[in-house]
């Protein structure tokens, strides 16, 4: 049956000028599982891959244990848990099993102690092996680390494996002595997410949020297909909620491209910002394309269902109409623009162009302040000062910019289970 996924489209500017030159149009596309899916849930398998190296000593390891306990409390007997712990060695602490022997599992968690160095890749491999014991349902690998690892290329290969298996990695870094670029790339390759945990006390909230999102996953294997008319060319497809990410696209036919969206969660909107280049047209209203999403809803035994929507645009010479904008879409365009500036600034810094990085960050600050992102703008201002005075950014500031600059939905905005 239809209606499992709703689809909406809105233009940043519903009217474009009837000129003789190409123009850029921004389309906000929102996909959301329908109400019929809010009461259904498929079993989930969460594998926690946890750093217990010596640098985790003290509050970090204590909060880690507490976070795993709270996460297990959210699971029921149909769900599956596995836990891998690592330092320079790897141990499968809890092999994949339904959450039935809860007391025994919690006893093992309470015994986790810090020791040794940091080797992530073998732990990821073990975690993926445990997750493959449950080939169906919703699977998540949650990695938490606070240190630099050996053999980063092997970590990326394991992330590639996770992507092929359809297992998103949630890669969480705590403190300041870990490689954020590695965790972001691992998350991207597995179609997961990465984040920066500044304080140990926040680990509990992040683990709870990850389990909650897995439990809300009701749509799988979703794919967006854009079919565009002649004279309309895609320039970029951005995910904008909950994180800004350039999804890219794959040509599949003449004037048609596809974007793999993966999983959708009940109660959550997956928003995409599509940049299109539009060739000149006479005055009038035109269908410039069609957006279609195909998907599976395993809980309802639905496979290969589709929903679609036409994208309409009007060309006009009326000055009043040309002034009309959709403020919500324009705000998202600005957020993406600020993210682009931040990304290019960090790229400049990586090649030693401090001046270029500073100028781009200043432009990003202006955009962030216009959006009310005062806290992130203040962090960026401090890092601009660091660049101007010392020629480099702080580790904490760089991590904050890389992670907070991508977020359009804050963790604090999401209702989490009560402690």
Model-level pTM? Answer: 0.88
Pick from 72, 213, 45: nearest CA to 134 = 45
Question: Residue 42 and residue 38: Cα distance in Å, rounded?
Answer: 12
Q: What is the pLDDT of residue 413?
A: 41
Task: State yes or no: pLDDT of 308 exceeds 90.
Answer: yes
Q: What is the pLDDT of residue 267?
A: 85
pLDDT band at 249 (very low <50, low <70, confident <90, very high): very high
The answer to whether 346 touches 357, Cβ cutoff 8 Å, is: yes
Mean pLDDT of the chain: 91
pLDDT in tens, 195-215: 999 899 999 999 999 999 999
DSSP secondary structure letters along 58-124: THHHHHHHHHHHHHHHT--TTSEEEEEEESSSEEEEEEEEETTSHHHHHHHHHT----S----HHHH
Report which secondary-structure segment, H or E, holds 304.
strand 302-316
Question: Residue 12 and residue 325: Cα distance in Å, rounded?
Answer: 6
pLDDT band at 1 (very low <50, low <70, confident <90, very high): low
pLDDT band at 254 (very low <50, low <70, confident <90, very high): confident
The residue ranking higher by pLDDT, 2 or 332, is 332
Q: What is the pLDDT of residue 329?
A: 93
pLDDT in tens, 92-147: 999 999 999 999 999 999 999 998 899 999 999 999 999 999 877 899 999 999 98
The answer to whether 247 touches 219, Cβ cutoff 8 Å, is: no
Task: State yes or no: pLDDT of 414 exceeds 60.
Answer: no
Question: Residue 352 and residue 346: Cα distance in Å, rounded?
Answer: 10
Q: What is the pLDDT of residue 2?
A: 64
Output the CA–CA distances (angstroms, integers) from residue 247 to 223, 244, 263, 274, 275, in the order listed.
12, 9, 14, 10, 12
| Pairing label, strands 15-17, 302-316 | parallel
pLDDT in tens, 35-75: 888 778 889 999 999 999 999 999 999 999 999 999 999 99
State the virtual CA torsion across 373, 374, 380, 381 in degrees, nearest 10. 150
Q: What is the pLDDT of residue 411?
A: 38
pLDDT in tens, 141-199: 999 999 888 889 999 999 999 999 989 999 999 988 889 999 999 999 998 999 999 89
pLDDT in tens, 268-287: 899 999 999 999 999 999 99
């Amino acid at each position: 049956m239809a209606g499992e996924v709703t689809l909406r489209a809105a233009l940043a500017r519903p009217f474009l000028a009837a000129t003789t030159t190409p123009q850029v149009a921004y389309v906000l596309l929102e996909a959301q599982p329908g109400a019929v899916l809010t009461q259904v849930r498929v079993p989930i398998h969460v594998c926690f891959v946890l750093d217990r190296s010596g640098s985790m000593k003290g509050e970090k390891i204590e909060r880690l244990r507490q976070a795993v306990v709270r996460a297990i409390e959210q699971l029921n007997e149909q769900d599956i848990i596995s836990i891998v712990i690592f330092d320079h060695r790897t141990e499968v602490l809890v092999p994949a099993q339904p959450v039935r022997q809860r007391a025994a599992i919690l006893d093992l968690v309470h015994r986790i102690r810090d020791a040794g160095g940091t080797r992530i890749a073998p732990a990821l491999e073990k975690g993926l092996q445990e997750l493959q014991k449950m080939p169906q349902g919703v699977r998540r690998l949650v990695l938490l680390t606070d240190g630099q690892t050996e053999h980063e290329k092997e970590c990326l290969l394991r992330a590639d494996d996770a992507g092929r298996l359809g297992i998103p990695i949630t890669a969480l870094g705590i403190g300041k002595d870990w490689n954020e670029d590695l965790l972001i790339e691992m998350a991207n390759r597995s179609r997961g997410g990465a984040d920066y945990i500044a304080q140990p006390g926040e680990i509990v909230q992040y683990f709870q949020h990850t389990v909650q999102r897995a439990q809300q996953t009701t749509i799988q294997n979703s794919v967006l297909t854009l079919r565009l008319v002649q004279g309309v060319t895609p320039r970029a497809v951005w995910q904008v909620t909950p994180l800004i990410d350039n999804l890219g696209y794959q040509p599949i036919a003449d004037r048609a491209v596809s974007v793999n969206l993966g999983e959708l969660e009940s109660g959550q909107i997956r928003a995409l910002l599509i940049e299109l280049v539009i060739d000149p047209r006479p005055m009038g209203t035109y269908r410039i394309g069609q957006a279609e999403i195909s998907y599976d809803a395993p809980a309802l035994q639905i496979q290969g269902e589709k929903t679609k929507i036409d994208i309409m645009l009007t060309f006009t010479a009326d000055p009043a109409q040309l002034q009309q904008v959709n403020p919500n879409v324009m705000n998202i365009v600005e957020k993406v623009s600020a993210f682009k500036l931040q990304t290019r600034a960090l790229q400049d810094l990586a090649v030693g162009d401090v001046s270029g990085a500073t100028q781009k960050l200043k432009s990003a600050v202006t955009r962030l302040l216009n959006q009310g992102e005062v806290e992130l703008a203040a962090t960026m201002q401090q890092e601009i000062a660091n660049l101007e005075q010392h020629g480099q950014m702080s580790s904490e500031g760089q991590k904050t910019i890389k992670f907070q600059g991508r977020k359009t939905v804050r963790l604090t905005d999401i209702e989490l289970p009560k402690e």
